[in-house]
A = this chain, B = another copy of it.
Amino acid sequence: MADSPVRPSMSHSYHCRIYVTLRPSVLDPAGTAVQSGLQQLGYDSVSQVRIGKYIELTLEAPDEATASQQLDTMCDQLLANTVIENYCFEITALEGAVTP
């Protein structure tokens, strides 16, 4: 087989959606600016605007538990700054995407 040595011998593809948000105690100047912009456009009933990041990626892993564990480490190491940000994610198996 021509698989890379680091790839598991039987892996599934997962579509992952990661949401990175500022912790509630951290000020969000961008959110405040957007809220002000919306209110200037006439949307007076908008409040508590917070802006975060939304990251989509495809991950190959032997099973969903492993994918979840890897994503968690990725978020801790690179995708989120856990001092000021929280993160959560959703994992969806891509149908018919088994790599033998």
Q: Which residues of B contact A4 (CB under 8 A)?
A: 44
Q: Which residues of B contact A34 (CB under 8 A)?
A: 55, 78-79
Which 3 A-B residue pairings sit nearest by Cβ, starting from the closest? A54-B54, A45-B60, A52-B54
Complex-state Cα separation, A41 to B41, whole angstroms? 44
The verdict on A56 contacting chain B, using a C-beta distance below 8 Å, is yes
Chain A interface residue count, Cβ-Cβ cutoff 8 angstroms:
37
Q: In the bound complex, do residue A7 and residue B77 qualify as a contact, i.e. CB atoms below 8 Å apart? A: no
The verdict on A65 contacting chain B, using a C-beta distance below 8 Å, is no
Q: In the bound complex, do residue A74 and residue B11 qualify as a contact, i.e. CB atoms below 8 Å apart? A: no
Closest to A44 in B: B6
Q: In the bound complex, do residue B38 and residue A74 qualify as a contact, i.e. CB atoms below 8 Å apart? A: yes
